[in-house]
Structure 1
Amino acid sequence: MSNIRSLFATRLYHARLSELGKTAVDQEELETSCFAIAEEDGAGQDWCQENGYPGYTSYASLTDLPWRFPIFKDLRKTLDKHVKAFAEDLEFDLDGKKLKLDSLWINILPEGGIHTSHIHPHSVISGTTYVTVPPGASAIKFEDPRSAMMMAAPTRLPEAREELRGFIYVTPEAGDVLLWESWLRHEVPMNMAEDDRVSVSFNYGWG
Protein backbone atom coordinates (compact mmCIF):
# COMPACT_ATOMS: atom_id res chain seq x y z
CA MET A 1 0.00 0.00 0.00
CA SER A 2 1.35 3.42 -0.91
CA ASN A 3 2.36 5.83 1.82
CA ILE A 4 2.40 9.59 1.15
CA ARG A 5 3.65 11.90 3.87
CA SER A 6 4.15 15.64 4.19
CA LEU A 7 7.79 16.55 4.87
CA PHE A 8 9.60 19.71 5.98
CA ALA A 9 6.61 21.65 7.24
CA THR A 10 6.49 25.46 7.23
CA ARG A 11 4.73 26.55 10.39
CA LEU A 12 2.64 29.72 10.78
CA TYR A 13 1.50 30.88 14.21
CA HIS A 14 -1.80 32.84 14.33
CA ALA A 15 -3.35 33.90 17.63
CA ARG A 16 -5.09 36.71 19.44
CA LEU A 17 -2.53 38.91 21.15
CA SER A 18 -4.67 38.77 24.30
CA GLU A 19 -4.49 34.97 24.56
CA LEU A 20 -1.20 34.99 26.47
CA GLY A 21 0.28 37.19 29.13
CA LYS A 22 -1.02 38.83 32.28
CA THR A 23 -0.34 42.32 30.95
CA ALA A 24 -3.15 43.41 28.63
CA VAL A 25 -2.19 45.48 25.61
CA ASP A 26 -4.67 48.31 25.10
CA GLN A 27 -5.30 48.35 21.33
CA GLU A 28 -6.65 51.90 21.37
CA GLU A 29 -3.62 53.20 23.24
CA LEU A 30 -1.34 51.28 20.89
CA GLU A 31 -3.00 52.85 17.84
CA THR A 32 -2.80 56.35 19.33
CA SER A 33 0.88 55.82 20.15
CA CYS A 34 1.68 54.62 16.63
CA PHE A 35 0.22 57.73 15.04
CA ALA A 36 1.82 60.04 17.63
CA ILE A 37 5.25 58.53 16.98
CA ALA A 38 4.78 58.75 13.21
CA GLU A 39 3.91 62.43 13.47
CA GLU A 40 6.95 63.26 15.61
CA ASP A 41 9.53 61.02 13.93
CA GLY A 42 11.12 63.38 11.42
CA ALA A 43 14.00 61.02 10.69
CA GLY A 44 11.58 58.21 9.92
CA GLN A 45 9.48 60.44 7.67
CA ASP A 46 12.61 61.53 5.79
CA TRP A 47 13.75 57.92 5.34
CA CYS A 48 10.36 56.90 3.96
CA GLN A 49 10.38 59.78 1.49
CA GLU A 50 13.96 59.18 0.37
CA ASN A 51 13.38 55.45 -0.13
CA GLY A 52 9.95 55.65 -1.74
CA TYR A 53 8.29 53.87 1.17
CA PRO A 54 4.53 54.54 1.17
CA GLY A 55 3.10 55.76 4.43
CA TYR A 56 5.36 55.48 7.45
CA THR A 57 7.69 53.00 9.15
CA SER A 58 9.96 53.49 12.14
CA TYR A 59 12.19 50.62 10.97
CA ALA A 60 15.15 52.81 10.02
CA SER A 61 14.80 55.51 12.67
CA LEU A 62 13.72 54.25 16.11
CA THR A 63 15.21 51.23 17.88
CA ASP A 64 13.96 51.73 21.44
CA LEU A 65 10.16 51.85 21.30
CA PRO A 66 9.71 49.67 24.44
CA TRP A 67 11.84 52.17 26.36
CA ARG A 68 10.08 55.26 24.97
CA PHE A 69 6.45 54.23 25.46
CA PRO A 70 5.05 51.96 28.23
CA ILE A 71 2.51 50.44 25.80
CA PHE A 72 5.36 48.99 23.73
CA LYS A 73 6.96 47.60 26.87
CA ASP A 74 3.67 45.81 27.60
CA LEU A 75 3.57 44.62 23.99
CA ARG A 76 7.09 43.19 24.22
CA LYS A 77 6.19 41.20 27.34
CA THR A 78 3.19 39.69 25.58
CA LEU A 79 5.11 38.96 22.37
CA ASP A 80 7.79 37.18 24.41
CA LYS A 81 5.16 34.67 25.54
CA HIS A 82 3.82 34.09 22.03
CA VAL A 83 7.31 33.61 20.61
CA LYS A 84 8.17 31.17 23.41
CA ALA A 85 5.06 29.13 22.58
CA PHE A 86 5.91 29.11 18.87
CA ALA A 87 9.53 28.11 19.53
CA GLU A 88 8.26 25.17 21.57
CA ASP A 89 5.98 24.13 18.71
CA LEU A 90 8.95 24.30 16.33
CA GLU A 91 10.91 22.07 18.74
CA PHE A 92 13.97 24.31 18.63
CA ASP A 93 16.98 23.21 20.68
CA LEU A 94 17.92 26.60 22.12
CA ASP A 95 20.74 25.17 24.27
CA GLY A 96 19.39 26.84 27.39
CA LYS A 97 19.17 30.28 25.79
CA LYS A 98 16.08 32.34 24.99
CA LEU A 99 14.90 33.98 21.82
CA LYS A 100 15.11 37.72 22.46
CA LEU A 101 13.49 40.71 20.77
CA ASP A 102 16.11 42.53 18.71
CA SER A 103 13.91 44.95 16.72
CA LEU A 104 10.37 46.31 16.85
CA TRP A 105 8.89 48.84 14.44
CA ILE A 106 5.66 50.56 13.38
CA ASN A 107 4.11 50.28 9.92
CA ILE A 108 1.39 52.64 8.70
CA LEU A 109 0.28 51.68 5.19
CA PRO A 110 -2.10 54.13 3.46
CA GLU A 111 -4.47 53.45 0.60
CA GLY A 112 -2.45 52.30 -2.43
CA GLY A 113 0.59 51.41 -0.33
CA ILE A 114 2.43 48.10 -0.69
CA HIS A 115 5.28 46.30 1.03
CA THR A 116 7.20 44.27 -1.52
CA SER A 117 8.38 40.68 -1.11
CA HIS A 118 11.18 40.20 1.44
CA ILE A 119 12.67 38.05 4.20
CA HIS A 120 14.21 39.03 7.56
CA PRO A 121 17.91 38.05 7.56
CA HIS A 122 19.86 37.50 10.80
CA SER A 123 16.70 36.66 12.78
CA VAL A 124 15.07 33.41 13.91
CA ILE A 125 11.40 34.32 14.29
CA SER A 126 9.66 37.33 12.77
CA GLY A 127 6.10 38.49 13.03
CA THR A 128 3.50 41.20 13.08
CA THR A 129 0.73 42.24 15.40
CA TYR A 130 -2.14 44.14 13.87
CA VAL A 131 -3.34 47.42 15.35
CA THR A 132 -5.83 48.67 12.75
CA VAL A 133 -7.18 46.57 9.89
CA PRO A 134 -9.94 48.52 8.08
CA PRO A 135 -12.46 46.69 5.86
CA GLY A 136 -10.84 45.88 2.51
CA ALA A 137 -7.28 46.21 3.81
CA SER A 138 -4.74 43.91 2.19
CA ALA A 139 -3.90 40.48 3.55
CA ILE A 140 -0.34 39.32 4.13
CA LYS A 141 0.97 36.99 1.41
CA PHE A 142 3.39 34.13 2.14
CA GLU A 143 5.41 32.40 -0.59
CA ASP A 144 6.28 28.71 -0.73
CA PRO A 145 10.01 28.65 0.16
CA ARG A 146 10.58 25.89 -2.41
CA SER A 147 9.54 28.08 -5.37
CA ALA A 148 13.07 28.61 -6.67
CA MET A 149 13.64 24.84 -6.82
CA MET A 150 10.46 23.75 -8.59
CA MET A 151 11.95 24.20 -12.08
CA ALA A 152 9.53 22.51 -14.53
CA ALA A 153 6.77 21.74 -12.02
CA PRO A 154 3.23 22.59 -13.21
CA THR A 155 1.10 25.04 -11.29
CA ARG A 156 -1.25 23.76 -8.60
CA LEU A 157 -4.99 23.42 -8.99
CA PRO A 158 -6.95 26.41 -7.63
CA GLU A 159 -8.60 24.14 -5.05
CA ALA A 160 -5.32 22.49 -3.99
CA ARG A 161 -4.84 21.83 -0.29
CA GLU A 162 -3.38 24.81 1.58
CA GLU A 163 -0.11 22.98 2.29
CA LEU A 164 0.47 22.50 -1.45
CA ARG A 165 -0.26 25.99 -2.72
CA GLY A 166 2.46 28.32 -3.97
CA PHE A 167 1.11 31.32 -2.07
CA ILE A 168 -0.99 31.67 1.06
CA TYR A 169 -2.96 34.81 1.91
CA VAL A 170 -3.84 35.48 5.54
CA THR A 171 -6.31 38.23 6.39
CA PRO A 172 -5.70 39.27 10.00
CA GLU A 173 -7.92 41.21 12.35
CA ALA A 174 -6.93 43.97 14.75
CA GLY A 175 -5.51 42.32 17.85
CA ASP A 176 -4.08 39.32 15.97
CA VAL A 177 -0.45 38.27 16.04
CA LEU A 178 1.27 36.23 13.32
CA LEU A 179 4.66 34.54 13.73
CA TRP A 180 6.83 32.72 11.20
CA GLU A 181 10.44 31.66 10.74
CA SER A 182 12.40 34.62 9.42
CA TRP A 183 13.46 32.92 6.17
CA LEU A 184 9.85 32.73 4.96
CA ARG A 185 9.32 35.21 2.13
CA HIS A 186 6.28 37.44 2.46
CA GLU A 187 4.75 40.67 1.23
CA VAL A 188 1.81 42.99 1.73
CA PRO A 189 -0.15 43.56 -1.51
CA MET A 190 -1.64 46.96 -2.26
CA ASN A 191 -3.88 48.33 0.46
CA MET A 192 -7.24 48.91 -1.21
CA ALA A 193 -8.91 50.36 1.89
CA GLU A 194 -9.36 54.11 2.22
CA ASP A 195 -8.07 54.07 5.79
CA ASP A 196 -4.59 53.28 7.07
CA ARG A 197 -3.55 49.72 7.83
CA VAL A 198 -1.49 49.88 11.04
CA SER A 199 0.74 47.13 12.38
CA VAL A 200 3.80 46.57 14.54
CA SER A 201 6.42 44.15 13.22
CA PHE A 202 9.34 42.57 15.04
CA ASN A 203 12.29 40.18 14.91
CA TYR A 204 13.59 37.76 17.52
CA GLY A 205 17.17 36.48 17.56
CA TRP A 206 18.95 33.71 19.44
CA GLY A 207 21.74 34.11 21.94
Structure 2
Amino acid sequence: MSNIRMLFSTPLYHSRLSGIDAGELEASCLSIAEDDEAGQAWCEENDFPGYTSYASLSDLGWRFPIFADLIKKLDAHVAAFVETLDFDLGDRKIVLEDLWINILPEGGIHTAHIHPHSVVSGTTYVAMPKGGSAIKFEDPRHAMMMAAPPRRKDARDELKTFVYVAPKVGDVLLWESWLRHEVPMNMAEDDRISVSFNYKWES
Protein backbone atom coordinates (compact mmCIF):
# COMPACT_ATOMS: atom_id res chain seq x y z
CA MET A 1 0.00 0.00 0.00
CA SER A 2 1.49 3.34 -1.06
CA ASN A 3 1.57 6.51 0.97
CA ILE A 4 2.12 10.04 -0.36
CA ARG A 5 3.36 12.73 2.03
CA MET A 6 3.41 16.41 1.16
CA LEU A 7 6.85 17.82 1.98
CA PHE A 8 8.26 21.34 2.32
CA SER A 9 5.02 23.27 2.50
CA THR A 10 4.70 26.95 1.58
CA PRO A 11 2.15 28.49 3.95
CA LEU A 12 0.08 31.55 3.07
CA TYR A 13 -1.91 33.23 5.85
CA HIS A 14 -5.12 34.94 4.71
CA SER A 15 -7.32 36.82 7.18
CA ARG A 16 -9.29 40.04 7.67
CA LEU A 17 -8.54 43.24 9.58
CA SER A 18 -11.01 44.33 12.22
CA GLY A 19 -11.29 47.60 14.10
CA ILE A 20 -9.61 49.70 11.41
CA ASP A 21 -11.55 52.43 9.57
CA ALA A 22 -10.89 51.63 5.91
CA GLY A 23 -11.82 55.13 4.74
CA GLU A 24 -9.50 56.80 7.23
CA LEU A 25 -6.66 54.47 6.31
CA GLU A 26 -7.10 55.21 2.59
CA ALA A 27 -7.26 58.97 3.22
CA SER A 28 -4.09 58.76 5.33
CA CYS A 29 -2.23 56.86 2.59
CA LEU A 30 -3.21 59.44 -0.02
CA SER A 31 -2.32 62.36 2.25
CA ILE A 32 1.11 60.93 3.04
CA ALA A 33 1.78 60.25 -0.65
CA GLU A 34 0.88 63.85 -1.53
CA ASP A 35 3.19 65.34 1.11
CA ASP A 36 6.14 62.94 0.82
CA GLU A 37 8.45 64.81 -1.54
CA ALA A 38 11.39 62.50 -0.80
CA GLY A 39 9.29 59.45 -1.64
CA GLN A 40 8.00 61.05 -4.83
CA ALA A 41 11.56 61.90 -5.87
CA TRP A 42 12.74 58.33 -5.18
CA CYS A 43 9.90 56.89 -7.25
CA GLU A 44 10.74 59.21 -10.15
CA GLU A 45 14.48 58.50 -9.99
CA ASN A 46 13.90 54.73 -9.89
CA ASP A 47 11.09 54.59 -12.49
CA PHE A 48 8.78 53.22 -9.81
CA PRO A 49 5.16 53.35 -10.97
CA GLY A 50 2.87 55.36 -8.73
CA TYR A 51 4.10 55.88 -5.18
CA THR A 52 5.76 53.97 -2.36
CA SER A 53 6.99 55.21 1.00
CA TYR A 54 9.43 52.27 1.18
CA ALA A 55 12.56 54.38 0.68
CA SER A 56 11.47 57.56 2.43
CA LEU A 57 9.38 57.03 5.59
CA SER A 58 10.05 54.62 8.43
CA ASP A 59 7.80 56.10 11.12
CA LEU A 60 4.24 55.83 9.82
CA GLY A 61 3.01 54.59 13.20
CA TRP A 62 4.24 57.81 14.78
CA ARG A 63 2.93 60.14 12.05
CA PHE A 64 -0.68 58.93 11.92
CA PRO A 65 -2.57 57.27 14.81
CA ILE A 66 -4.38 54.93 12.42
CA PHE A 67 -1.05 53.40 11.44
CA ALA A 68 -0.22 52.83 15.13
CA ASP A 69 -3.56 51.02 15.42
CA LEU A 70 -2.84 49.07 12.24
CA ILE A 71 0.55 47.92 13.54
CA LYS A 72 -1.09 46.53 16.70
CA LYS A 73 -3.54 44.55 14.56
CA LEU A 74 -0.75 43.27 12.28
CA ASP A 75 1.36 42.27 15.29
CA ALA A 76 -1.50 39.99 16.39
CA HIS A 77 -1.92 38.46 12.94
CA VAL A 78 1.82 37.84 12.58
CA ALA A 79 1.99 36.27 16.06
CA ALA A 80 -0.81 33.87 15.08
CA PHE A 81 0.95 32.98 11.82
CA VAL A 82 4.35 32.52 13.47
CA GLU A 83 2.78 30.15 15.99
CA THR A 84 1.88 27.80 13.12
CA LEU A 85 5.41 27.84 11.65
CA ASP A 86 7.07 25.98 14.53
CA PHE A 87 10.07 28.32 14.71
CA ASP A 88 12.47 27.79 17.61
CA LEU A 89 12.83 31.45 18.59
CA GLY A 90 14.57 30.95 21.92
CA ASP A 91 14.13 34.10 24.00
CA ARG A 92 13.88 36.35 20.93
CA LYS A 93 10.74 37.54 19.13
CA ILE A 94 9.52 38.23 15.62
CA VAL A 95 9.07 42.02 15.50
CA LEU A 96 8.08 44.67 12.96
CA GLU A 97 11.01 45.82 10.85
CA ASP A 98 9.36 48.20 8.40
CA LEU A 99 5.98 49.15 6.98
CA TRP A 100 5.25 51.16 3.84
CA ILE A 101 2.50 52.42 1.54
CA ASN A 102 2.11 51.33 -2.10
CA ILE A 103 -0.09 53.23 -4.56
CA LEU A 104 -0.14 51.47 -7.92
CA PRO A 105 -1.81 53.37 -10.78
CA GLU A 106 -3.25 51.96 -13.98
CA GLY A 107 -0.48 50.20 -15.91
CA GLY A 108 1.81 49.93 -12.89
CA ILE A 109 3.50 46.69 -11.83
CA HIS A 110 5.68 45.45 -8.98
CA THR A 111 8.13 42.97 -10.47
CA ALA A 112 8.92 39.60 -8.87
CA HIS A 113 11.04 39.80 -5.72
CA ILE A 114 11.70 38.40 -2.26
CA HIS A 115 12.50 40.08 1.07
CA PRO A 116 15.79 38.34 1.96
CA HIS A 117 16.57 39.98 5.31
CA SER A 118 13.17 39.36 6.91
CA VAL A 119 11.27 36.39 8.33
CA VAL A 120 7.63 37.21 7.59
CA SER A 121 6.36 39.62 4.96
CA GLY A 122 2.85 40.65 4.12
CA THR A 123 0.36 43.13 2.78
CA THR A 124 -3.00 44.51 3.79
CA TYR A 125 -5.27 46.00 1.17
CA VAL A 126 -6.63 49.53 1.40
CA ALA A 127 -8.21 50.10 -2.04
CA MET A 128 -8.80 47.34 -4.60
CA PRO A 129 -10.67 48.72 -7.63
CA LYS A 130 -12.52 46.35 -9.94
CA GLY A 131 -9.90 44.87 -12.26
CA GLY A 132 -7.08 45.65 -9.83
CA SER A 133 -4.17 43.23 -9.86
CA ALA A 134 -4.10 40.03 -7.87
CA ILE A 135 -0.85 39.14 -6.13
CA LYS A 136 1.11 36.32 -7.76
CA PHE A 137 3.17 33.80 -5.79
CA GLU A 138 5.79 31.53 -7.37
CA ASP A 139 6.63 27.96 -6.40
CA PRO A 140 10.12 28.28 -4.83
CA ARG A 141 11.17 25.03 -6.56
CA HIS A 142 10.44 26.50 -9.99
CA ALA A 143 14.09 27.07 -10.96
CA MET A 144 14.87 23.38 -10.37
CA MET A 145 12.09 22.05 -12.64
CA MET A 146 13.88 22.40 -15.99
CA ALA A 147 12.49 19.18 -17.52
CA ALA A 148 9.10 19.00 -15.77
CA PRO A 149 5.93 19.09 -17.89
CA PRO A 150 3.46 21.90 -17.19
CA ARG A 151 0.77 21.39 -14.56
CA ARG A 152 -2.87 20.99 -15.51
CA LYS A 153 -5.02 24.11 -15.10
CA ASP A 154 -7.03 22.36 -12.40
CA ALA A 155 -3.95 21.26 -10.43
CA ARG A 156 -4.14 21.57 -6.66
CA ASP A 157 -2.77 24.84 -5.28
CA GLU A 158 0.20 23.11 -3.66
CA LEU A 159 1.28 21.75 -7.07
CA LYS A 160 0.80 24.87 -9.18
CA THR A 161 3.81 26.78 -10.47
CA PHE A 162 2.07 30.11 -9.81
CA VAL A 163 -0.83 30.94 -7.53
CA TYR A 164 -2.81 34.17 -7.89
CA VAL A 165 -4.69 35.58 -4.91
CA ALA A 166 -7.25 38.33 -5.56
CA PRO A 167 -7.51 40.17 -2.23
CA LYS A 168 -10.33 42.39 -1.02
CA VAL A 169 -10.13 45.59 0.97
CA GLY A 170 -9.30 44.69 4.56
CA ASP A 171 -7.59 41.39 3.73
CA VAL A 172 -4.27 40.53 5.37
CA LEU A 173 -1.87 38.19 3.56
CA LEU A 174 1.28 36.87 5.28
CA TRP A 175 4.02 34.62 3.95
CA GLU A 176 7.60 33.68 4.75
CA SER A 177 9.87 36.32 3.27
CA TRP A 178 11.78 33.95 0.97
CA LEU A 179 8.64 33.37 -1.12
CA ARG A 180 8.93 35.10 -4.49
CA HIS A 181 5.94 37.26 -5.37
CA GLU A 182 4.87 40.04 -7.70
CA VAL A 183 1.96 42.28 -8.61
CA PRO A 184 1.09 42.02 -12.33
CA MET A 185 0.01 45.09 -14.26
CA ASN A 186 -2.87 46.99 -12.71
CA MET A 187 -5.53 47.05 -15.42
CA ALA A 188 -7.98 49.15 -13.38
CA GLU A 189 -8.34 52.87 -14.03
CA ASP A 190 -8.21 53.62 -10.31
CA ASP A 191 -5.26 53.27 -7.96
CA ARG A 192 -4.61 50.00 -6.16
CA ILE A 193 -3.55 50.92 -2.60
CA SER A 194 -1.91 48.60 -0.11
CA VAL A 195 0.30 48.69 2.98
CA SER A 196 3.16 46.20 2.99
CA PHE A 197 5.46 45.22 5.84
CA ASN A 198 8.34 43.03 7.00
CA TYR A 199 8.90 41.34 10.34
CA LYS A 200 12.36 40.23 11.50
CA TRP A 201 13.82 38.01 14.21
CA GLU A 202 14.92 40.53 16.81
CA SER A 203 18.62 40.60 17.62
Q: TM-score, normalised by structure 2?
A: 0.98
Q: How far, CA to CA, are the matches of 1:58 and 1:6 in structure 2? A: 39
Shift of 1:17: 1.2
What residue is the counterpart of 1:156 in the other structure? 151
- Number of matched pairs: 202
Give the counterpart letter for 2:183 in structure 1: V
Q: How far, CA to CA, are the matches of 2:84 and 2:76 in structure 1? A: 13
47-56 or 90-99: bigger deviation: 90-99
Shift of 1:66: 0.5
Q: How far, CA to CA, are the matches of 1:129 and 1:162 in structure 2? A: 22
What residue is the counterpart of 2:91 in the other structure? 96
> Are 2:3 and 1:3 aligned?
yes
Aligned match of 1:121 in 111, 116, 123?
Answer: 116
Shift of 1:174: 0.2
Aligned match of 1:61 in 49, 56, 60?
Answer: 56
Write out aligned runs for 1:104-183 (5 A): 104-183=99-178
Give the counterpart letter for 2:41 in structure 1: D
Give the gaps of 5 or more residues in structure 1: 19-23
Query: Helix, strand or coil for the counterpart of 2:148?
Result: coil
Give the counterpart letter for 1:32 in structure 2: A
Q: How far, CA to CA, are the matches of 1:102 and 1:112 in structure 2? A: 29
Percentage of pairs with the same residue: 73
Shift of 1:125: 0.0
Runs of 4+ more than 4 Å apart: none
Give the gaps of 5 or more residues in structure 2: none
Give the counterpart letter for 2:96 in structure 1: L
Shift of 1:96: 2.6
Shift of 1:152: 1.0
Q: How far, CA to CA, are the matches of 2:198 and 2:159 in structure 1? A: 27
Shift of 1:157: 1.1
> Are 2:191 and 1:201 aligned?
no
What residue is the counterpart of 2:35 in the other structure? 40
Give the counterpart letter for 1:65 in structure 2: L
Query: Helix, strand or coil for the counterpart of 1:202?
Result: strand
Shift of 1:155: 1.1
> Are 2:7 and 1:12 aligned?
no
Shift of 1:162: 1.0
What residue is the counterpart of 1:21 in the other structure? none
Q: CA RMSD in A?
A: 0.7
Q: Deviation digits for residues 125-181 of structure 1, max 9, x if unmatched?
A: 000000000111010000000011112111111111111000000000000000000
Query: Helix, strand or coil for the counterpart of 2:153?
Result: coil
Q: Deviation digits for residues 94-149 of structure 1, max 9, x if unmatched?
A: 11322110100000000110000000011000000000001110100000000111
